[in-house]
Chains A and B, each alone.
Chain A
Amino acid sequence: DIQMTQSPSVLSASVGDRVTLNCKASQNINKYLNWYQQKLGEAPKLLIYNTNNLQTGIPSRFSGSGSGTDYTLTISSLQPEDVATYFCFQHNSWTWTFGGGTKLELK
């Protein structure tokens, strides 16, 4: 199975900050990488699909990039409602896997 490693596991930032979350795959996943946001007590929400495609209804402050094994989710200006845990998810291989998550907190 492809292993997905997210860093950092916890990130503290201030409102208005530019925030970068990282996700590394154990092998090339050919940009088949999604990002999900999960707020406490809620189901995950799809933010970005296939590395850099913004899901309908998601604010444009969210963006994704990457290739090969290394991928990034960027929030251009952190808002209070962005406090959540973020998960990357690869769907390149026969079986699919999530990263362990990054918990984003307000400083």
Chain B
Amino acid sequence: EVQLQQSGAELGKPGTSVKLSCKVSGYNIRNTYMHWVNQRPGKGLEWIGRIDPANGNTIYAEKFKSKATLTADTSSNTAYMQLSQLKSDDTAIYFCAMGMAYWGQGTLVTVSS
């Protein structure tokens, strides 16, 4: 059974960074793309970008190119997303999604001083 387990809620101060994790069990992430999606409070879904864990190649939505950095560790079957220069507007739930078919439970990131 495929499962994606995301790291716990984060509280970040404006201007700082946070790094979220997404550990996959039941499937080798080398054989798929890992995606990240966010959802601001009461809003819709936004696709942030994807990484090919086999080679580290990444593609980002334009608005997240300077905000998010995607990485992956195939030895631990885990994907990561670092969010930099946090602003209040970055407060959201962040989901990882394997192949856009299997989803993690989401990580709430709250940006507040």
Contacts and interface: CB of A to CB of B under 8 A. Distances in A.
Contacts, number: 49
A6 to B, nearest CB: 9
B105 interface: yes
Interface of B is mostly: strand
Interface string B41-64: 000111101100000000111100
B11 interface: no
Given A45-B103, A55-B101, A91-B100, A100 B44 contact: yes
Contacts of A38: 45
Given A44-B95, A44-B103, A101 B47 contact: no
Interface string A27-59: 000000010101000011110010000010000
Nearest to A87: B45
Interface of B: 37, 44-47, 49-50, 59-62, 95, 97, 100-101, 103-106
